[in-house]
Structure 1
Amino acid sequence: MTYLSTRVNRSMPPSAVTPVLSYQDVGAAVDWLRIVFGFRERLRIGEHRAQLAIGDAASIVVVQGLGGHPASGWATHSIMVRIADVDAHHSHAMSCAARVVSAPASYPYGERQYTVMDLGGHLWTFSQTVADVDPLSWGGQPIALQLEDAQS
């Protein structure tokens, strides 16, 4: 059974699997990851979230805290997987008695998503592109490539 999505949405990172990392200070984390690891900022969402890219397809999302982890109260990371059909995937996960943290919902940035906690307490968000949405329409701020990023 294949679930991966090939749809494009300017509001989402282009990779199929995206780590989501939690930091207290998103701006400081973005600066550090850019300078030390060579990521480039792709999109800024307020002061609480940013999308970073490296190379053609690899990306990460940096967020200010993730709620819901039963052991610590905050998760330090989660995984986001872009798929073709969230509702079918959710139904299958439910039939396997998965622990659903948030049911499928559609968002203004063109994605339909749900989140599951796996048997090790890791959070997985499955995301289906339902529309190609300009980030400016919902408050995202696309970041122009800097000269040094374009030369890398």
Structure 2
Amino acid sequence: MPSTIPTSPSTLMPAMRYRDANAAIEWLCNVFGFERHAVYPGPNNTVGHAELTLGGGMIMLGSGKDDEYGRGFTSPSEIGDKETRNVYIVVPDADAVYARAKAAGGRIVRELQNTDYGSREFSVKDPEGHSWSVGTYDPWKTQG
């Protein structure tokens, strides 16, 4: 998937847990265009750790675990669809990503729109309820 997204590495990497991390990886790659940087399998068809890249950004994810650290995480769908974070993805064509998200069963929570600050963007929940905002606003570029 060709892109004009910047390719400089980021020092911030959101990390999340999924009940079905393998399915989440497929969805994130197919819808948003993430690429697998590394995927380390865990026991019983789980994901011990995965790194997905998009331009110069990276997210990390893995399967939920029933250990002391893992019990500190839950899926938004298990707590009334609530979250304390959202990831914004800069894309050159928000309309194309919007179409893929809808086709892949993403739940659109903020329709595709133009903003006062020059972006075209929308927000979607992935199949496990994690929020993603997608738009053309790039804070690294001079806005004008």
Q: Does the alignment reach a TM-score above 0.5? A: no
Q: Normalising to structure 2: TM-score of the pair?
A: 0.43
The one of the two structures with greater contact order (alpha-carbon pairs below 8 A, sep at least 6) is 1
Normalising by structure 1, we get a TM-score of: 0.41
Higher strand share: 1
